[in-house]
C-alpha cells in the first residue's frame, strides 16, 4: 500500500464558487481559507500524511486585479493570526515556500513568528506556497549554487530548492488538468489526481476517497 507521505494541492475554483452564488470572488477565497483548516486538521490526524503543501499564491497571480491581490494579502495576514491555534492544537508545523522578500517587513515578521511558534509541531509539516513558482524556485536554487561555487548535481540542486522533498500525490481541484508552475521538480514521479470539485466545496471525505485510490496504485518510479 502506498503512503501519501507528501500531499500537494492546487486549490482551484474559488472564483467560480463565488460567482455561482452571485458573490464577489473574494468570498470564494474566504471560504477557501476555511477549507484549508478542515483539510489541514484531517491531514494532521492521518497516519500516512507527513507533509501537506498548498498553492496559495503564485508568481503569476500578481496579474490579477489589484483589489483581488490586496484581498489575498490581507487574507493571508488574517489567516496567520486566526490559524495559530489550529496549528498548535493539532501539532502542525507551519512552513512556506516562495520568495517572501517582496512582502512588507511586517508580513514577513508575522510569517517568521508563526514558523517559530509552531517549530515543535510533529504531526504535519504544513507548507503554504506564497509568491511561489517552480521556475522561480529552480532559478533561485541554481543561482545559490553558482554564488557558492557548488557543483550542480541532482542532489545539490534538490537541496537548494525551497521544497527539497518529492511529492507523492498531487491533487488539483476545480476541473482543470494542468500544473500551473507548481512543484515541477518535486512532482517528477507524483501521482496526479484531478477533481471537478471547486476548492470551497472540497471535503475531507473526498480526500479520503482519493487517498484510498492512491494507496492501490503500483508506483514504479521508472522501473518495472
Ligand atoms: C484559485 O482559485 C485560488 C487561488 C489563486 C488562491 C488560493 C487561495 C485560497 C484557497 C484561500 C486563501 C488562503 C490564504 C491562506 C491566503 P481561482 O481564484 O483561480 O478560482 P477560479 O478558477 O474559479 O477563478
CATH of the domain at 18: 3.40.1180.10
Q: Is residue 144 part of a domain?
A: yes
Q: Is residue 220 part of a domain?
A: no
> Please, are residues 167 and 143 in contact by the beta-carbon 8 Å criterion?
no
Distances (CA, A) of 179 to 76, 104, 114, 166, 183: 22, 28, 28, 15, 8
Q: Is residue 222 part of a domain?
A: no
Marked catalytic residue, from 12, 90, 162, 168: 12
Q: Into how many domains does the chain fold?
A: 1
User: Residue 72: CB within 6 Å of ligand 1?
Assistant: yes
CA–CA separation, 36 and 33 (whole Å): 5
Quick check: helix, strand or coil at residue 53? strand
Amino acid 218: pLDDT: 86
Marked catalytic residue, from 2, 24, 61, 181: 61
Q: What is the pLDDT of residues 140-199, one digit of tens each?
A: 999 999 999 999 999 999 999 999 999 999 999 999 999 999 999 999 999 999 999 999
User: Residue 11: CB within 6 Å of ligand 1?
Assistant: yes
pTM score, whole prediction: 0.96
User: Residue 14: CB within 6 Å of ligand 1?
Assistant: yes
Q: Is residue 119 part of a domain?
A: yes
Quick check: helix, strand or coil at residue 54? strand
Ligand 1 nearest atom to the CA of residue 17, by list position = 23
Amino acid 66: pLDDT: 96
Amino acid at each position: 500500500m502506498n503512503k501519501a507521505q507528501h500531499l500537494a494541492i492546487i486549490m482551484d475554483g474559488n472564483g467560480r464558487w463565488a460567482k455561482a452564488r452571485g458573490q464577489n470572488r473574494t468570498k470564494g477565497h474566504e471560504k477557501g481559507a476555511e477549507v484549508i483548516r478542515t483539510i489541514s486538521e484531517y491531514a494532521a490526524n492521518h497516519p500516512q500524511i507527513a507533509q501537506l503543501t498548498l498553492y496559495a499564491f503564485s508568481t503569476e497571480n500578481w496579474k490579477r486585479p489589484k483589489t483581488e491581490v490586496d484581498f489575498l494579502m490581507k487574507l493571508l495576514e488574517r489567516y496567520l493570526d486566526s490559524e495559530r491555534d489550529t496549528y498548535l492544537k493539532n501539532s502542525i508545523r507551519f512552513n512556506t515556500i516562495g520568495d517572501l522578500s517582496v512582502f512588507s517587513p511586517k508580513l514577513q515578521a508575522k510569517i517568521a513568528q508563526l514558523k517559530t511558534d509552531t517549530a515543535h509541531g510533529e504531526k504535519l509539516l504544513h507548507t503554504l506556497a506564497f509568491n511561489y513558482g517552480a521556475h522561480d524556485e529552480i532559478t533561485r536554487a541554481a543561482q545559490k549554487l553558482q554564488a557558492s561555487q557548488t557543483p550542480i548535481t541532482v542532489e545539490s540542486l534538490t537541496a537548494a530548492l525551497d521544497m527539497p522533498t518529492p511529492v507523492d500525490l498531487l491533487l488539483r481541484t476545480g476541473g482543470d488538468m494542468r500544473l500551473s508552475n507548481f512543484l515541477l521538480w518535486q512532482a517528477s514521479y507524483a501521482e496526479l489526481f484531478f477533481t471537478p470539485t471547486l476548492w470551497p466545496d472540497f471535503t475531507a471525505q473526498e480526500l479520503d476517497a482519493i487517498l484510498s485510490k492512491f494507496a492501490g496504485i503500483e508506483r514504479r518510479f521508472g522501473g518495472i
